[in-house]
Amino acid sequence: GESVGLHLPTLSVQEGDNSIINCAYSNSASDYFIWYKQESGKGPQFIIDIRSNMDKRQGQRVTVLLNKTVKHLSLQIAATQPGDSAVYFCAENMGDDKIIFGKGTRLHILP
Amino acid sequence: GAGVSQTPSNKVTEKGKYVELRCDPISGHTALYWYRQSLGQGPEFLIYFQGTGAADDSGLPNDRFFAVRPEGSVSTLKIQRTERGDSAVYLCASSPERANYGYTFGSGTRLTVV
């Protein structure tokens, strides 16, 4: 399928290394944050979320860090694998009924 | 169904024509969302349904765009008098209740207006 995000910032990481993808969110009133992974030709896939009363949350091989002081969110992927190649989006919710997406980052895994 | 289903997966139409895009949400999900994604961009919110009613349509770009969900399950996004600028991937998502429990997205419909 057509590649999503041909002009997105790209992060290249050696297979097996850790990846850190950063995101600056826009609204200090946001209280729920999500990271999505999007592979070519597919819709965004939920990875991990975090609420504003937390500053760190861990999943399987992934960790999300939230710094509300500077409105910054990061996604850490441990031991990056070829299957992690995708575009990653952060998204925020302000307690209303929709999620607003940020700009994506393409993660490229080097063999 | 097991996931959110969108049909067709691809649609090519001529400028000025009318198109309908369909979304089948996950069974039992009351909230349904439409987004539009242009190349190189994140998904942009269009409209949100809670049950049968459009609770927030603030993202619809103009009155050529309309969406319905008559029985609170399947939704149809309708675009009249299509323009080349409408070319994008149209994504549908559903959620059990509200956005702050995360959504599940379908694979989208790629609309190309020629």
Q: Give tens-digit pLDDT for B82-112.
A: 999 999 999 999 998 765 667 899 999 999 9
Contact residues for B31 (Cβ-Cβ < 8 A; gap 6+): A97, B48, B49, B50, B94, B95, B96, B97, B98, B99, B103
Task: Give the Cα separation of B38 and B91 in Å (integer).
Answer: 11
Residue A5 binned pLDDT confidence (cut-offs 50, 70, 90) = very low
Task: Give the Cα separation of B24 and B47 in Å (integer).
Answer: 15
User: What average pLDDT does the structure give for chain A?
Assistant: 90
Question: Which residue in A31, A42, A101 is closest to B43 by CB distance?
Answer: A101
Question: Which residue in B42, B48, B110 is closest to A103 by CB distance?
Answer: B42
Q: Is B60 left (phi over 0), alpha (psi -120 to 50) or beta?
A: beta
**pLDDT score recorded for residue A3:** 36
Contact A102 B42 (CB under 8 A): yes
**pLDDT score recorded for residue A94:** 80
**Any idea which of A6-10, A62-66, A103-107, B45-49 has the lowest mean pLDDT?**
A6-10
Q: Are residues A55 and A65 in contact, defined by beta-carbon separation less than 8 angstroms?
A: yes
